[in-house]
Structure 1
Amino acid sequence: MLTPPRIVEDVTDRLRAAHSAVDACRAVVDVLATHTDALIATLLHVHDHLRCVAAAGSWHVFSSVPLGRGVVGRVYASGRTAVLTDVTVDPEFIRLGPDVVAEICVPILDRTGEPLGALNLEWTSELAATPDLGAWRVLAEELGKSLGARIDELGGPPAETQAEKLLRHSVALSAAGTEAEVYARVAEAARDVSGLSSAVVLTPIAGDIAEPADVPVGVTGSAALFIGGVVLRSSSPGRHDRVLVQRLADLGGRELGVLLDRARRHGTSFSLGDPDQLDPRGFEAVTKTGVRTMIVAPIGPGALGGVLVAFDDVTAHPEPARVSLLELLGTQAWTCLDRLHSLTRLRHRASSDPLTGLRHHGPFGERLAAAEPGRTALLAIDVDQFKVINDTYGHAAGDRALVDLARALESTLRQGDELYRIGGDEFVAVVEVPSPNEAVAVAERLTAAARRVGRTISVGVALQRRDELGETTLSRADQALYEVKRRGRDGLHLAP
């Protein structure tokens, strides 16, 4: 039999003795569990989720619910009680265990009436006596207010644990769509998880990337700075953090390279703390910038990746557990980078000709659809006497000739112009030009490039007219190409 006064009295006594928000939630759950066979759970707002901090009546509960999801999310967001007598008609009900025949969910309110979480009760046995939902609702709402007031007095819901932080940042890393996003998010995660004020990612400049000649050393938002042979990336949002990152950037490529190499060489992490008490030899340049604490963890195996550097101008002694968390973040970042690289390779293979590496029909159709009439020219290209090469020297020689020719033609095009292989020995160049004369000049450079590798090509040129479909422009370019063939090959013709 439900006895609300006694329950309220027992809860009040237990709440008075609670020393934390978790203790307070457990007190309410423990008292309620002695008066009902319902499944009981208290969920509090912790960062970006409603997290279960106490429960009874079932070994399976919703430990974490995104804000706004499910019945508890709705109750938390609205601050209003939900009473369900038929959960099957509620689209927001999330089923986990046995069939629920009745549910009461009330908001846990602080002393100003703002929701801190939700108190949820579910009855699952159809054989048990039907609970007096009206009486239980009144009781639960009173307990929700008492619990919320006590949690408010104790300083609010519990802080996010390190494990929860790591999980949140791992999800964000996994959702990153570009390398830049991965680096920015792992730097932000390192700041949050380590408790240090600043974090950067250092990576070596790839051999095929030309280092910019004049890159201003200044950090704003998610910046990528080219310093000597090192790229420094940061996502420091605060002014204080930007100052510290700037000081580190001012060290230059040589000193940053030392940090990079020490972690990458053996794939090991290391930490520094309190240079006044501990030996700072080998890191004098870093400590002179004001850095008093630092954790460095590798991203990727050995010399292949970069390093994650978290640092602060406040003295601290990095705990091994925090160093381990940064190592996990570095591993997660490398996994995400490897996934992005794999996706890029797969997309390239799916859209490229395996012989020449040029893009083929699918991407060409997309580029054609996006062409700007009046400023786009199509250059239809055919290799002269290609069949003779195959018949005389074999298909292997023909393949080599196509590869050499493709490289020569592509190297001649300007940045932004694109070359596609759309047939055996048929290519199309898409170029942005202001006039027919410039399109002809591009075609002349292409024919000259072909001659330099010992081949000749025929090129038909057509400037896309306004209101003309790309397919029509390509047809006119083909017709101009046939005109070159009729004239004896090795040349170009501009479609009228």
Structure 2
Amino acid sequence: MDHQRIIRDVTADLPAATTALDACQRFVTALAGHTPAAISLLLQVQGRLRCVAATGAWQIFSTVPPKTGIVGRVYATGETAVVPDVAADPDHLPIRPDVTAEICVPVVDPAGRTVGALDLQWSAPVDLAPWRATAERLASRLGARILALGGPPPESRSEKLLRHAAALSAATTDCDLITTAVCAARDVSALSAAVLLLDGPEESRLCRAPRTPGELEGRIRAELTEAGPAAVDRIVERVHRYGAGYTLGEAGQPPTEEYVPLSRAGVRTLVAVPLGPPAGGGVLLVADERLLRPDPTTVSLMELLAGQAWNSLDRLRTLDRLREQASSDPLTGLRHTGPFGKRIAAATPGRTALLAIDVDGFKTVNDTYGHQAGDRLLIGLARALESALRHGDELYRIGGDEFVAVIEVNRPEEAVRIAERLTEAARQTGRTISVGVALPRPGESAELTLRRADQALYMVKRQGRDGVRLAPA
């Protein structure tokens, strides 16, 4: 086999290529005429190796993470891999079942930077030594042509959307998700600003700003804030009623009434797409100060992005609800034993008071009037006790009719006064409670502090109930 001729034939058409992608496709097509090998050419795009041209394979890997497979290893090290038996190399990525040998060489530009990898896989006996030298020379010439044409091809908009969708799925907080969605909208649309309007419990409201809002985004937020919740409502209602919309980039055309605040902010180009359901969802606004003409494809990509953002946001909200349910008493809504254990473990000696609370005569209510009446009593009492506590005080239900309040005080007398407020709040509901108060001693475990509070509570019970007792210091 004349390898010099192979090099001439494969590189002869490269000067005619007008883009890096065109050069890669011409290169692979020409090389396939000289070998039955399955050929894959991968270039680095946004941290991943993307297959830009291939032939002869039943299946190719469209994108490969860095350092994955033989191609990833070659790209990361810049060193050629010659594999006479692919079964012996754990990094081999199978593209067809009959492959036996593989050569992978780095595609390097004249500056010495590795920009990709050229991979050849054979299913028949082959002399690998001359093919290694040929593949390295070919990859070097291709690298030079790619550099001359401006480097590896940029991500397509659909590839950008896929990358951002993965980031949305990985977001762990609302703030991270919002920032990711806004950045994705800017990147995929090529417009300069993006704002999320989300429907809140009481009224439509502007979603909180991402960590790095742009200048136009700041003006949009300011104008919508000044216009008030009703103006935001009108935008949300319009987009959900009529669907996604976009401007045509024509000068001198007045905005509809809903979009007047955006026009005042300097918006001249706008894509507006619904986010989530009409009730409880919102709107994604993507805008620019320039007069541009977004095409329907841009709008479709923004709709896909909005759908992924809403799914991710709904997932986070569902997880929050599940965590709340897991840490809350389903009857009263108070936190229960799990979070209480963490809270008392952080008790500050001399400052954190534990108030053990027991409902007087609760068993009699259950036995006489039934468990439903007992449940109603507990719910009403929980609300009354919560209202009697200060901001920052915490109330837990740790048993059937047993509650514990955790409060921060300066002196034991302050804890007693708060306990007395709780007993008075209970009386207002027609019931009475007994309360034992204890402050942690230096070096004392929180469990022992709670035990002392319980002992003080039972002293109240023995003395007639409906009262407060401070455990001895």
Q: Are 1:421 and 1:427, in contact at CA under 8 Å, matched by a contact in 2?
A: yes
Aligned to 1:291: 267
Matched, 1:347 2:323: yes
Aligned to 1:40: 39
Q: Are 1:200 and 1:235, in contact at CA under 8 Å, matched by a contact in 2?
A: no
Q: Are 1:273 and 1:292, in contact at CA under 8 Å, matched by a contact in 2?
A: no
* TM-score of the two chains, using structure 1 as the length reference: 0.88
Q: 1:176 aligns with which of 165, 171, 183?
A: 171
Q: 2:210 aligns with which of 235, 242, 246?
A: 235
Aligned to 2:79: 80
Q: Are 2:206 and 2:232, in contact at CA under 8 Å, matched by a contact in 1?
A: no
Q: Are 1:198 and 1:236, in contact at CA under 8 Å, matched by a contact in 2?
A: no
Aligned to 1:70: 69
Aligned to 1:308: 284
Deviation at residue 250 of structure 1 after TM alignment: 6.2
Deviation at residue 99 of structure 1 after TM alignment: 5.8
Aligned to 2:298: 322
Q: Are 1:420 and 1:429, in contact at CA under 8 Å, matched by a contact in 2?
A: yes
**1:405-451 deviation per Cα after TM superposition (whole angstroms, max 9, x unaligned):** 11221233333332221111111122233332332232222222211
Match of 2:135, SS state, is helix
Matched, 1:108 2:107: yes
Aligned to 2:249: 274
Q: Are 1:42 and 1:119, in contact at CA under 8 Å, matched by a contact in 2?
A: yes
Q: Are 2:74 and 2:80, in contact at CA under 8 Å, matched by a contact in 1?
A: yes
Q: 1:145 aligns with which of 134, 140, 145?
A: 140
Alignment partners' CA distance in 2, 1:400 and 1:155? 73
Change (3 A) 1:250 1:424: closer
User: Following superposition of structure 1 onto structure 2, how do residues 118-267 of structure 1 map, counting pairs within 5 Å?
Assistant: 118-123=117-122, 125=123, 128-129=124-125, 131-207=126-202, 230-235=205-210, 237=212, 240-241=215-216, 244-245=219-220, 248-249=223-224, 251-253=226-228, 254-264=230-240, 266=241
Match of 1:356, SS state, is coil
**1:58-90 deviation per Cα after TM superposition (whole angstroms, max 9, x unaligned):** 121110112333322222223222233444554
Q: Are 2:223 and 2:264, in contact at CA under 8 Å, matched by a contact in 1?
A: no
Change (3 A) 1:194 1:470: same
Alignment partners' CA distance in 2, 1:456 and 1:284? 59
Aligned to 2:465: 489
Match of 2:435, SS state, is strand
Change (3 A) 1:90 1:258: same
Q: Which amino acid aligns with 2:23?
A: A
Alignment partners' CA distance in 1, 2:118 and 2:108? 10
Deviation at residue 146 of structure 1 after TM alignment: 0.8
Aligned to 1:460: 436
Change (3 A) 1:295 1:349: same
Alignment partners' CA distance in 1, 2:80 and 2:235? 56
Alignment partners' CA distance in 1, 2:3 and 2:196? 58
Q: Are 2:206 and 2:221, in contact at CA under 8 Å, matched by a contact in 1?
A: no
Alignment partners' CA distance in 2, 1:38 and 1:285? 61
Aligned to 1:357: 333
Aligned to 2:407: 431
Instruction: Compute the RMSD of aligned alpha carbons.
Output: 2.3
Change (3 A) 1:427 1:38: same
Alignment partners' CA distance in 1, 2:400 and 2:390? 24
Superposition misfits of 4+ residues, deviation over 6 angstroms: none
Change (3 A) 1:372 1:84: farther
Alignment partners' CA distance in 2, 1:243 and 1:397? 54
**1:157-208 deviation per Cα after TM superposition (whole angstroms, max 9, x unaligned):** 112112111111111111111222222221111111211101111124422x
Alignment partners' CA distance in 1, 2:70 and 2:388? 63
Alignment partners' CA distance in 2, 1:426 and 1:334? 41
Alignment partners' CA distance in 1, 2:188 and 2:250? 22
Q: Are 1:379 and 1:459, in contact at CA under 8 Å, matched by a contact in 2?
A: yes
Q: Are 2:224 and 2:231, in contact at CA under 8 Å, matched by a contact in 1?
A: no
Alignment partners' CA distance in 2, 1:369 and 1:60? 57
Aligned to 1:19: 18
Aligned to 1:59: 58
Alignment partners' CA distance in 1, 2:395 and 2:201? 25
Q: Are 2:224 and 2:261, in contact at CA under 8 Å, matched by a contact in 1?
A: no
Count of residues in correspondence between the two structures: 470
Match of 1:105, SS state, is strand
Gaps of 5+ in 2: none
Alignment partners' CA distance in 2, 1:232 and 1:442? 39
Change (3 A) 1:471 1:293: same
Q: Which amino acid aligns with 2:43?
A: L
User: Following superposition of structure 1 onto structure 2, how do residues 354-433 of structure 1 map, counting pairs within 5 Å?
Assistant: 354-433=330-409
Match of 2:450, SS state, is helix
Change (3 A) 1:445 1:4: farther
Deviation at residue 308 of structure 1 after TM alignment: 0.6
Deviation at residue 322 of structure 1 after TM alignment: 0.9
Alignment partners' CA distance in 1, 2:460 and 2:151? 81
Change (3 A) 1:391 1:76: same
Match of 1:177, SS state, is coil
Alignment partners' CA distance in 1, 2:314 and 2:207? 20
Alignment partners' CA distance in 1, 2:266 and 2:440? 61
Match of 2:36, SS state, is coil
Stretch of structure 1 that moved more, 341-350 or 315-324: 341-350
Alignment partners' CA distance in 2, 1:90 and 1:451? 78
Match of 2:59, SS state, is coil
Q: Are 1:44 and 1:118, in contact at CA under 8 Å, matched by a contact in 2?
A: yes
Alignment partners' CA distance in 1, 2:430 and 2:89? 74
Alignment partners' CA distance in 1, 2:413 and 2:250? 68
Aligned to 1:216: none
Aligned to 1:29: 28
